[in-house]
Amino acid sequence: MSERRPLLVLGTTDFSAQVAASAADAGFGVAGFVENLSRERCRETLADLPIHWIDELSELSRTHDAVCGLGTTHRSSFIEEAERHGMRFATVVHPRAYVAPTSTVGEGTYIGPHASIAGYARIGRHAIVLMGSLIGHHTEIGDYASILMGANVAGSCRIGEAAYVATGAVVIDHVSVGSGSVVGAGAVVVADVPDGVQVLGVPARIVKEGIDGR
C-alpha cells in the first residue's frame, strides 16, 4: 500500500474541522484547510492549522491530496475548482465506521464515525455519510449526495446525485430519492421522490419544487 500524501480539507467551517479530526483519526496527516471566498480568512488558522487560498493548490496539488469538508449541497463547485488546479482527492473513512467488504466508496467521499454501510452498497464520489447514519444493502448513494447524522436509508434504495437526506430522516426499502432533492429532518420517505423537490413529514410529502441541489 502506497504512503498517504498530506491531506488538505476544502472549507473553513466547523464541519471542515470535524472532517479534519476524522481524517487524523483515520491516519492521514492533515496539513491545513483551503478557502475560496475570502482571502482575509487565510490570515487566520483553523484547528491550529494554516488556511490556504484556492490558487495555492496549483503548487500544493503536486504533493498533497484533498477531501471536501463542506456540508452544503453546492460543494461540487469548490471541488471542481480544486480539480482545475490539479488536485487529487482522498477517501476518508473514520476507523469507527463500518463499511462492508462487498461495498464500494468513491473518491473524495467522507464517512463519519459510527456510520454503517451494509453489503453490496455503492457510495459515489464526493458524498458525505455522517455520524450514526445507516445505509442498507444494495443501496446506491449518488455523487455529491449528503446523508446526515442518524439518517436511515434502507436496502435496495437509490439516492440521486447531490440529493440531501437530513438528520434523522428514514427512507424505506426499494425507494428512490431524485437528484438534487432534499429530504427534511425526521421525514419518512415511503414512495419515490422525483428530482429537484423538497419533502417533509411523516409520510414525506412534496412541499417545494424547483430545488437545485448542485
Active site residues: 137
CA pair distance 103, 129, nearest whole angstrom: 14
Antiparallel, parallel or unpaired: β 197-200 and 205-209: antiparallel
Please spell the DSSP secondary structure of 53-112, one letter per residue.
EGGGHHHHTTT-EEEE---STTTHHHHHHHHHTT-EE--EE-TTSEE-TT-EE-TT-EE-
- Enclosing H/E stretch for 158: strand 158-159
Query: Before 203, cis peptide (omega within 30)?
Result: yes
Cell of 180: 438534487
